[in-house]
């Protein structure tokens, strides 16, 4: 078997996106278009992957700087898909087969690519039947079915425009054949560009065998040229993700109102209400219930936990049987142990909240360790920042922190201690003691009447 090299053509201007960002970096389900393709291509195990880039080349290279499997090729002047391929081919070894993929069809699957690279024809293109073929290159076949050529929409006559079989832009051939055809391309078309699609006609002129394989899923091969197409593909993809989640036992209040931008692992009997967004890598264990309009990023949610509406989790670990929200915010390195409860307008950052502990209303817990069975009163603040450095707060097991307490870190409140409401705690509180740190109340008798009488 010949080695397989893949060429991705992604140097185009993407003019129709009206963006300062190259098309390859436009986001679909939270990830660059190119990233979607690269994942599937990697599963094909090619010998090499070349990516032709042009507009925003530096931005693209930066975005994929941790992927050293890509060989970048610069197309300085963009004279069409054929011209892009002319830049890549010198880097492909002579004895290889070449699979060409246009950079703007992000959802192509490895299975479809596999079908293509198994083709025995001299030149194989991937086509698909579309109800509305407008904008695409049409596959022109002879009556016998033999593929004759591909004609771009703008070069097509009325009869050709009516053809519903279109070119997806995937092409498979050998490096040697490709090289011969590329040297004969011209710019004799409406766009004044070297069109890769003209290879089909050239192969026919040479009496080489040409095949067009039909893709069975149009979503997989939808080209993204405009914001409208990007949004449409996003919806299709989200629908597919929602359906996968339901197949795994998740109940979605409305499969059309969930967005997953990353990897979401789920257990059984998970319920997700409307308007939730999941980003990065999230894991949700069995029996979790998530209320409406939550944003959950890079977090783990343990069994039977309830996340109430409008809660934001970012880099948090929530153990089993916890209750979070409504309107709670768990920031990176927040960890709730089993049965902990975090209520409305409570922010937790870089802190561990022990088993069964509660902070039910209006609090900030940062850089702290909180033991088991602790009650944090409303309005409690860990003052973790002195303007220069961050400091730790330690709260032992069974501590009761009265409302509106400021804990000025570094400070430690030992097991079983109580803190009176409104205290400013600046020194450590011993175990089982009561700390009160506030101005003593003074009542002045008759003060109001005296004031009135002047």
Q: Is 104 in the site for ligand UD1 (CB under 6 A)?
A: yes
Question: Given candidates 6, 7, 12, 28, which one binds ligand UD1 under the rule CB under 6 A?
Answer: 12
Q: For residue 316, give every residue at least 6 positions away whose Cβ sits within 8 Å of its Cβ, in sequence order, or none.
A: 299, 300, 330, 331, 332, 333, 334, 335, 336, 348
Q: Is 201 in the site for ligand UD1 (CB under 6 A)?
A: no
Q: Is 197 in the site for ligand UD1 (CB under 6 A)?
A: yes
Query: Min. distance of Cβ 223 from Ca ion in angstroms?
Result: 4
Q: Which stretch binds ligand UD1 (CB under 6 A): 64-72, 109-117, 192-200, 227-235?
A: 192-200
- Whether the bond between 331 and the residue before it is cis, its omega within 30 degrees of 0, is no
Judging by beta carbons within 10 Å of its beta carbon (0-12, 13-18, 19+), is residue 158 exposed, middle or buried?
exposed
Q: Which residue from 273, 326, 281 is spatially nearest to 301, judged by alpha carbons?
A: 281
Q: Which residue from 242, 269, 272, 245 is spatially nearest to 256, judged by alpha carbons?
A: 242
x-or-dash pattern for ligand UD1, window 309-348, by CB under 6 A?
A: ----------------------------------------
104/220 with CB nearer ligand UD1: 104
Q: Is 140 in the site for ligand UD1 (CB under 6 A)?
A: no
Q: Is 17 in the site for ligand UD1 (CB under 6 A)?
A: no
Q: Is 127 in the site for ligand UD1 (CB under 6 A)?
A: no
Question: CA–CA separation, 299 vs 289, rounded Å?
Answer: 15
Question: CA–CA separation, 219 vs 402, rounded Å?
Answer: 58
Q: Please report, for residues 316, 359, 434, the alpha-carbon distance to residue 368 in angstroms, rounded to integers and kept in the order given.
A: 14, 13, 20
11/213 with CB nearer ligand UD1: 11
153/204 with CB nearer Ca ion: 153
Q: Is 10 in the site for ligand UD1 (CB under 6 A)?
A: yes
Rg over alpha carbons for the chain, rounded to the nearest Å, is: 31
Q: Is 136 in the site for ligand UD1 (CB under 6 A)?
A: yes
In the complex, residue closest to ligand UD1 by CB: 137
Q: Which residues in 45-64 contact ligand UD1 (CB under 6 A)? A: 52
Question: Given candidates 169, 377, 379, 396, which one binds ligand UD1 under the rule CB under 6 A?
Answer: 169
Q: Which residue from 107, 106, 88 is spatially nearest to 98, judged by alpha carbons?
A: 88
H or E element that contains 205:
helix 199-205
Catalytic residue among 310, 361, 391, 394: 361
Q: For residue 143, give every residue at least 6 positions away whose Cβ sits within 8 Å of its Cβ, in sequence order, or none.
A: none
Question: CA–CA separation, 214 vs 170, rounded Å?
Answer: 11
H or E element that contains 378:
none
Q: Is 22 in the site for Ca ion (CB under 5 A)?
A: no
Question: Given candidates 5, 40, 104, 273, which one binds Ca ion under the rule CB under 5 A?
Answer: 104
Residue whose entry in the numeric block shows the structure tokens 């009650």: 375
Judging by beta carbons within 10 Å of its beta carbon (0-12, 13-18, 19+), is residue 267 exposed, middle or buried?
middle
Using CB under 6 A, count the residues that bind ligand UD1: 29
Question: Given candidates 167, 173, 357, 382, which one binds ligand UD1 under the rule CB under 6 A?
Answer: 167
Active site annotation includes 361: yes
Q: Which residue from 158, 170, 64 is spatially nearest to 127, judged by alpha carbons?
A: 170
Query: Min. distance of Cβ 201 from Ca ion in angstroms?
Result: 20
* Among ligand UD1, Ca ion, none, partner that 282 touches (CB below 5 to 8 angstroms by kind): none
x-or-dash pattern for Ca ion, window 33-72, by CB under 5 A?
A: ----------------------------------------
Question: CA–CA separation, 79 vs 367, rounded Å?
Answer: 56
138/358 with CB nearer ligand UD1: 138
State the catalytic residues: 361
Binding site for ligand UD1 (CB under 6 A): 9-12, 52, 75, 78-81, 83-84, 102-105, 136-137, 150, 152, 166-169, 195-197, 223, 225
Binding site for Ca ion (CB under 5 A): 104, 223, 225
């Amino acid at each position: 078997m010949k080695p397989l090299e893949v060429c991705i053509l992604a140097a185009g201007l993407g003019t129709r996106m009206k963006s300062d960002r190259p098309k390859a970096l436009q986001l679909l389900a939270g990830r660059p278009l190119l990233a979607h393709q690269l994942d599937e291509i990697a599963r094909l195990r090619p010998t090499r992957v070349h990516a032709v880039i042009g507009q925003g080349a530096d931005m693209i290279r930066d975005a994929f700087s941790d992927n050293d499997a890509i060989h970048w090729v610069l197309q300085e002047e963009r004279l069409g898909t054929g011209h892009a391929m002319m830049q890549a081919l010198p880097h492909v070894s002579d004895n290889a087969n070449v699979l060409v993929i246009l950079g703007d069809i992000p959802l192509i699957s490895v299975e479809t690519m596999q079908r293509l690279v198994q083709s025995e024809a001299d030149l194989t293109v991937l086509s698909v039947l579309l109800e509305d073929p407008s904008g695409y290159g049409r596959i022109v076949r002879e009556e016998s079915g033999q593929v004759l050529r591909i004609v771009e929409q703008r070069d097509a006559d009325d009869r050709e425009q009516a053809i519903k079989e279109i070119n997806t832009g995937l092409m498979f051939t050998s490096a040697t054949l490709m090289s011969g055809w590329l040297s004969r391309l011209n710019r004799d078309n409406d766009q004044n560009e070297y069109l890769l699609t003209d290879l089909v006609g050239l192969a026919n002129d040479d009496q080489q065998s040409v095949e067009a394989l039909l893709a069975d899923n149009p979503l997989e091969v939808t080209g993204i040229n405009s914001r409208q197409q990007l949004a449409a593909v996003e919806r299709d993809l989200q629908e597919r993700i929602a359906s996968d989640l339901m197949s795994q036992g998740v109940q979605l209040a409305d499969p059309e109102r969930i967005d997953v931008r990353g990897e979401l692992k789920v257990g059984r009997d998970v319920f997700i209400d409307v308007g939730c967004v999941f980003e990065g890598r999230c894991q949700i264990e069995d029996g979790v219930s998530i209320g409406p309009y939550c944003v959950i990023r890079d977090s783990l949610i343990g069994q039977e936990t309830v996340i109430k509406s409008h809660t934001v989790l970012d880099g948090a670990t929530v153990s089993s049987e916890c209750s979070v929200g409504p309107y709670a915010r768990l920031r990176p390195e927040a960890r709730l142990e089993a049965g902990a409860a975090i209520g409305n307008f409570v922010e937790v950052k870089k802190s561990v909240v022990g088993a069964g502990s509660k902070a039910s209303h209006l609090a900030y817990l940062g850089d702290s360790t909180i033991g088991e069975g602790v009650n944090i009163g409303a309005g409690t603040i860990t003052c973790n920042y002195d303007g220069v450095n961050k400091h730790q707060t330690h709260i032992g097991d069974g501590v009761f922190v009265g409302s509106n307490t400021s804990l000025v870190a570094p400070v430690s409140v030992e097991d079983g201690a109580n803190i009176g409401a409104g205290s400013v705690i600046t020194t450590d509180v011993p175990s089982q003691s009561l700390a009160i740190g506030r101005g003593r109340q003074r009542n002045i008798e008759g003060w109001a009447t005296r004031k009135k009488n002047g």
